Amino acid sequence: MASPKRYAPQDIVGILPPLLTPFDEKEEIVESVLRDEVRFMLAQGVHGLVPGGSAGEGNALSTEEVRRVVGITCEEANGRVPVIAGIIANSTREAIQKAKAVSDLGVSALQITPVHYIYKNDDASMIRHFAAIRDAVDIPIIIYNVIPWNYLSVTLLLRLMREVPGIFGVKQSASDVKSMADLLLMAEPEMRIYAAIDALLYPTLAMGAHGSISQILAAVPGPCVEMWNLVQQGEHERARELHNRLLKVWNAISADNRLAVTKHVLSLQGIPVGKPRSPLAPASAEQQHNARAALAELLGADKVTPVN
């Protein structure tokens, strides 16, 4: 069904957008739109694809649906870029089930959250959790450090990458630049630290992040690829100017229902991904207006299409 090609962890770098999962009015996955979304992302020059993450509503997808979304992505990407499968689960057992469900599809890595229902886990429990998943499937792992009440410290993240074979990276998602800086300072050369602070794409890339997996990338992948290229080339004045325009887009998106607004922004670029699954509120008329204005300033008004 999918390309068996897998990329080595050291080659998973750059702009790695989380894919939005397209739904119809009955909240069923729309395969044709997902394929269009993958082709759109590839045409924008992205360096990898991440289906099933937070932006892809992985928390609301069944194991069967995760396999379907990841499988379609791998098939459409056809080995041109690495695919990193998102795993959002509330137990080690469930995480292993989802990991096994995508293990034959050709994914290059798994992006896995700590468990997220209320309870804080101690360091030993988190080490056991990720080690058990790694033992169950021979696929490299990126830890998605995003759960506020189960947030993993820099010290623990480094321990996990050093002590559990196969864990090679961290997606650092809190608005804590100091933690990002410490990870980049203390990580070994083979480790990969990915930025996921949407409002600070330029600063985190300039600090030396190995790439980004972040919702702003799902909304406007082309300018984010441009940002990566500018930073790699040392064109910091141009990068800062682009940062200001990207920040206006993120400010228009950022809200409790930011996923709904992100979906609207992508739909304005010709990829009708629909609304998020209930109960998340759809984008309001004011949010849609502000998002359209910011997107037009970033891309040019001629690149913004009507949404039916």
Whole-angstrom Cα distance, residue 109 to residue 167? 9
Kindly state whether residue 125 falls inside one of the protein's structural domains.
yes
Tell me whether residue 292 is in a domain.
Answer: no
Write the pLDDT tens digit of every residue in 77-126.
Answer: 999 999 999 999 999 999 999 999 999 999 999 999 999 888 888 999 99
Total of domains in the chain: 1
Asked whether residue 249 is domain-assigned, the answer is: no
User: In this structure, is residue 199 part of a structural domain?
Assistant: yes
Residue 153 inside a domain? The answer is yes
Full domain range(s) for residue 48: 9-233+266-275
**Residues near 42 by beta carbon (within 8 Å), at least 6 away in sequence:** 77, 80, 81
Q: Which residues are catalytic?
A: 144, 171
The reply to whether 115 falls in a domain is: yes
Q: What is the pLDDT of residues 31-55, one digit of tens each?
A: 999 999 999 999 999 999 999 999 9
Structure tokens at 161: 């990458």
**How does DSSP assign 70-128, residue by residue?**
HHHHHHHHTTSS-BEEEE--SSHHHHHHHHHHHTTTT-SEEEEPPP-SSPPPPHHHHHH
Q: How confident is the model over 58-82, as a mean pLDDT?
A: 97
Q: What is the CATH number of the domain that holds 65?
A: 3.20.20.70
pLDDT in tens, 178-215: 999 999 999 999 999 999 999 999 999 999 999 999 99
pTM: 0.95
What is the structure's pLDDT at 4?
Answer: 59
Residue 289 maps to a domain: no
C-alpha to C-alpha distance for 1 and 235, rounded to whole angstroms: 41
Asked if residue 93 is part of any domain, the answer here is: yes
Could you give the C-alpha distances from 179 to 28, 75, 105, 151, 154, in angstroms and in order?
Answer: 38, 36, 33, 11, 6
